[in-house]
């Protein structure tokens, strides 16, 4: 019997057959930096160099919101996160290399981790195969960072955040406010304020009554989602946010992800991902973003090596289609 393939499949076949893919070639790697950093920083570039050294041939793309490093750093503090992720979605979908890849891997540091998750849930084009986050605030923060004693600009900024977290201007202009969450509360006035006014986190965690099915579908499509928490993290409060845990910062009681409604009712696909073995909870020593090469190399080998996540999967799929 003759099987007619859909147009989208035929276009995929044409693109792949025109450019033969090595089964040993690693997928491209997206890296999104954290608060106060920029895409051109030496430390971030050294991470990319290590990724290429570990898995030769890795194409590394450093996500940025401006080509000027200074402006990119400013965007980690000031901007509308929803608009920022939409821009990244457009940039990646039109990138001459990334847009031709069957999939990519992704590495997010601190707030860059939940922003990459936002990318996966909201657009995921090109699709992410494996996502790894370090010290990210997946369940939000309950306290803003402490400024240095002489950093008056930081103190003024944090003062505005604390004074009017749920104000419309703050929620659309000051980045950390958009993943703030009163983690002591799951019901009551504080929780209602969060659900009503949160520009980013309440939406990306599908916490409102109307759920976005695409978010769940996209996140569950990952092969692996590994979440690293720093054992001595005092910057992200509570640190268990990196595992989607609910923490009462007054009592110190922690409700693990699997005991929460977001998991039990599978609002964003974490349960489905977990049931297929795709959800990893990891810890690493040190304070926030204190990473050594040994940990990173292990991540690159475990989650980003060609044997774990290569272009070969699409080759197998194409072969199956041809044999139909």
Catalytically active residues are: 110, 233, 288
**Residue ranges in 198-277 assigned as alpha helix (H):** 201-204, 213-220, 261-264, 270-275
Could you identify the residue written with the tokens 């003759």?
2
* 3-class secondary structure, 66: coil
11, 18, 126, 298, 318 from 15: Cα distances, Å? 6, 5, 15, 33, 11
The one-character DSSP state at 100 is G
Query: Quick one: which H or E segment has residue 31?
Result: strand 29-32
Report the candidate in 290, 76, 264 with the shortest Cα–Cα distance to residue 179.
Answer: 76
Q: Are the beta carbons of 170 and 177 closer than 8 angstroms?
A: yes
């Amino acid at each position: 019997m003759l099987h007619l393939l859909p147009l989208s499949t035929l276009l995929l076949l044409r693109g792949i057959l025109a450019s033969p893919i090595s089964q040993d070639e690693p997928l491209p790697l997206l890296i999104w930096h954290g608060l106060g950093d920029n895409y051109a920083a030496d430390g971030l570039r050294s991470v990319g160099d290590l990724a290429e050294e570990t898995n030769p041939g890795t194409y590394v793309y450093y996500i940025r919101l401006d080509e000027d490093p200074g402006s990119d750093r400013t965007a980690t503090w000031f901007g509308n996160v929803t608009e920022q992720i939409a821009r990244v979605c457009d940039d990646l979908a039109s990138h001459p290399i990334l847009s031709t890849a069957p999939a990519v891997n992704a590495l997010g540091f601190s707030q860059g981790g939940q922003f990459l998750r936002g990318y996966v849930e909201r657009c995921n084009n090109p699709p992410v195969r494996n996502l790894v986050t370090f010290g990210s605030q997946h369940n939000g923060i309950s306290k803003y960072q402490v400024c240095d004693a002489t950093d008056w600009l930081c103190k003024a900024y944090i003062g505005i955040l604390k004074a009017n977290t749920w104000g419309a201007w703050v929620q659309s202009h000051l980045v950390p406010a958009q993943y703030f969450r009163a983690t002591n509360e799951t019901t009551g006035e504080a929780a209602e304020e969060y659900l009503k006014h949160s520009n980013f986190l309440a939406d990306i965690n599908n916490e409102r009554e109307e759920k976005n099915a695409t978010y769940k579908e996209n996140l569950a499509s990952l092969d692996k989602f590994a979440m690293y928490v720093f054992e001595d993290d005092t910057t992200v409060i509570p640190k268990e946010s990196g595992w989607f845990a609910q923490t009462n910062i007054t009592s110190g009681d922690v409700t693990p992800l699997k005991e929460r409604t977001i998991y039990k009712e599978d609002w964003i696909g974490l349960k489905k991902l977990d049931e297929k073995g795709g959800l990893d909870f990891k810890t690493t020593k040190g304070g926030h973003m204190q990473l050594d090469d040994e940990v990173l190399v292990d991540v690159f080998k475990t989650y980003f090596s060609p044997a774990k996540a290569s272009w070969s999967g699409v080759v197998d799929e194409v072969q199956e289609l041809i044999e139909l």
